[in-house]
């Protein structure tokens, strides 16, 4: 089959890691007989330098016409002096909004090969960890009305959700749970917040469509504690924009390395945006030391969620595991007795093990 992918390398290590993910996808195409057509577009700091804005219309149009978007990372010290709407990071919010991507999937996976990187005690974490956080991405307090009231020296942010916004992200949570261990935890603050009580009502309704999934609820403060106390109790967590933002960062730390974690942002259709959770790491850009695995695993998520190529997605994930099993490591996940490799070598090794 034929798939059109827009790559948006962005800034810093973005071009280094996207290049390796493209290499791996090309290898998948070769072995499984698919054609991936890549078009590269600018966003972030490099777009500011070239076009004077972080998200050019040309990039938006190309992404909308594509089958999916693979993004590196944006930002860096060169653009830190710029204000809110002019900053490189604005490109991310812009793209999510333009592509109507309302669900953000962030797997927090601790691979057994890297279990020493987990900051928790071995008796808590065991051999490995695999949690998926589904975060609502385009509503909630980050998008509600906000402002300052000069007359009483105050500021306000509004937490708003409607039933449709809640239902569509919960469905992504249930669907994801169906493909995993069939367990969904809806995280909220229903003892205080009216929006959380609405989330619970919609969750009970939606659960009727997914009788195989066991659903429970947890307050966000308890969840942040349980992620440290007993993270293995979780399979899929579904939650609001702000709670998901915070919990997914907390969960990612359980895996020890930021260079390993992928993400997907999905909407109603199959078009999605896939990116590593780390930033543009300007300190190591262009030095052939960045870990490309988070981006390669994001490409695997693209194969699974946007193209329904489960076998191919697993082939990429298995290739990553095999390379780690063989002891190859980039500098960020280095340990004793392993083989240090650079960005390009890591990409070559993974591409070479696609079966
Ligand atoms: P960062 O994730 O870029 O880097 C944090 C640390 O992790 C650095 O020491 C970096 O070298 C290391 N690191 C990150 N990715 C790595 C990889 N793949 N391999 C090896 N090491 C890696 O976060 P930061 O330093 O806070 O931000 C740098 C820039 O990135 C800022 O301009 C920030 O705004 C931007 N940023 C962008 C995104 C995004 O595009 N999604 C996300 C976060 C930060």
Q: What pLDDT score was predicted for residue 299?
A: 98
Mutate to test the pocket of ligand 1, among 70, 117, 264, 280 (most ligand atoms within 8 A of CB): 280
**pLDDT tens digit string along 316-340?**
999 999 999 999 999 998 877 789 9
Q: What pLDDT score was predicted for residue 1?
A: 85
Average pLDDT, the chain: 95
How far is the centre of ligand 1, averaged over its atoms, from the C-alpha of 249 (Å)? 13
How far is the centre of ligand 1, averaged over its atoms, from the C-alpha of 278 (Å)? 5
**pLDDT tens digit string along 81-93?**
998 779 999 999 8
Q: What pLDDT score was predicted for residue 83?
A: 80
Cα–Cα distance, 192 to 188 (Å, whole number): 9
Is 279 a pocket residue for ligand 1 (Cβ < 6 Å)? yes
Q: Does the pLDDT at position 257 exceed 90? A: no
Do residues 168 and 102 touch, judged by C-beta distance below 8 A? yes
Nearest ligand 1 atom to the CA of 10 is 40
Q: What pLDDT score was predicted for residue 251?
A: 92
Is 92 a pocket residue for ligand 1 (Cβ < 6 Å)? yes
How far is the centre of ligand 1, averaged over its atoms, from the C-alpha of 150 (Å)? 37
Q: How far is CA 168 from CA 19, 248, 266, in A?
A: 33, 20, 11
Tokens 């020296």 locate to 153
Whole-prediction pTM: 0.93
Mutate to test the pocket of ligand 1, among 278, 289, 343 (most ligand atoms within 8 A of CB): 278
Q: How far is CA 347 from CA 69, 262, 312, 355, in A?
A: 19, 16, 17, 15
Q: Does the pLDDT at position 278 exceed 90? A: yes
Which residue's CA is minimally distant from atom 1 of ligand 1?
Answer: 279
Active site residues: 142, 189, 221, 245, 249
Which residue's CA is minimally distant from atom 34 of ligand 1?
Answer: 75
Q: What pLDDT score was predicted for residue 81?
A: 94
Nearest ligand 1 atom to the CA of 17 is 18
**pLDDT tens digit string along 169-221?**
999 999 999 989 999 999 999 999 999 999 999 999 999 999 999 999 999 99
Beta strands in 145-277 (DSSP E): 146-149, 154-157, 183-188, 214-219, 236-239, 262-266, 272-276
Averaged pLDDT for residues 121-143:
93
What is the band of 313 on the pLDDT scale with cuts at 50, 70, 90?
very high
Q: How far is CA 43 from CA 3, 4, 60, 87, 110, in A?
A: 21, 18, 9, 11, 31
What is the band of 296 on the pLDDT scale with cuts at 50, 70, 90?
very high
Averaged pLDDT for residues 339-354:
97
**Percent of the chain scoring above 90 in pLDDT:** 90
Q: What pLDDT score was predicted for residue 133?
A: 97
How far is the centre of ligand 1, averaged over its atoms, from the C-alpha of 301 (Å)? 21
Q: What pLDDT score was predicted for residue 110?
A: 92
Residue 100: left (phi > 0), alpha (psi -120 to 50), or beta?
left
Cα–Cα distance, 327 to 333 (Å, whole number): 11
Q: What pLDDT score was predicted for residue 205?
A: 98
Q: Does the pLDDT at position 112 exceed 90? A: no
Which residue's CA is minimally distant from atom 9 of ligand 1?
Answer: 281
How far is the centre of ligand 1, averaged over its atoms, from the C-alpha of 259 (Å)? 9
**pLDDT tens digit string along 49-77?**
999 999 999 999 999 999 999 999 999 99
Q: Does the pLDDT at position 252 exceed 90? A: no
């Amino acid at each position: 089959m034929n798939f059109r992918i827009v790559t948006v390398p962005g800034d810093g290590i973005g071009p280094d890691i996207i290049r390796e993910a493209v290499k791996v996808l090309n290898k998948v195409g070769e072995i499984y007989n698919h054609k991936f057509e890549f078009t590269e577009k600018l966003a972030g700091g490099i777009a500011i330098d070239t076009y004077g804005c972080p998200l050019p219309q040309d990039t938006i149009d190309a992404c909308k016409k594509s089958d999916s978007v693979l993004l590196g990372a944006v930002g860096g010290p060169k653009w830190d002096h710029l204000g809110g709407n002019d900053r490189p990071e604005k490109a991310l919010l812009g793209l999510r909004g333009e592509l109507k991507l309302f669900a953000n999937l962030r797997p927090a996976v601790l691979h057994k090969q890297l279990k020493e990187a987990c900051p928790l005690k071995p008796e808590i974490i065991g051999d490995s960890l695999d949690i998926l956080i589904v975060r609502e991405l385009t509503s909630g307090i980050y998008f509600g009305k906000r402002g300052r009231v000069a007359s009483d020296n105050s500021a306000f942010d509004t937490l708003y959700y409607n039933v449709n916004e809640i239902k569509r992200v919960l469905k992504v949570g249930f669907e994801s749970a169906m493909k995993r261990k069939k367990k969904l935890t809806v995280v909220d603050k229903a003892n205080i917040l009216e929006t959380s009580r609405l989330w619970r009502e919609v969750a009970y309704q939606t659960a009727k469509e997914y009788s195989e999934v066991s659903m429970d609820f947890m307050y966000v403060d308890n969840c942040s504690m349980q992620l440290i106390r007993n993270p293995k109790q979780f399979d899929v967590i579904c939650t609001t924009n702000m709670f998901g933002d915070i919990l997914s960062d907390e969960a990612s730390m359980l895996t020890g390395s930021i260079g390993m974690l992928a993400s997907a942002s999905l909407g109603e259709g199959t078009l999605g945006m896939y990116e590593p959770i780390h930033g543009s790491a300007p300190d190591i850009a262009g030095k052939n030391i960045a870990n490309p695995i988070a981006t390669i695993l994001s490409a695997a998520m693209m194969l699974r969620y946007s193209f329904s190529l489960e076998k191919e997605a697993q082939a990429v994930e298995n290739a990553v595991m095999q390379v780690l099993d063989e002891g190859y490591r980039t500098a960020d996940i280095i340990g004793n007795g392993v083989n240090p490799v650079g960005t390009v070598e890591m990409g070559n090794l993974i591409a070479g093990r696609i079966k």
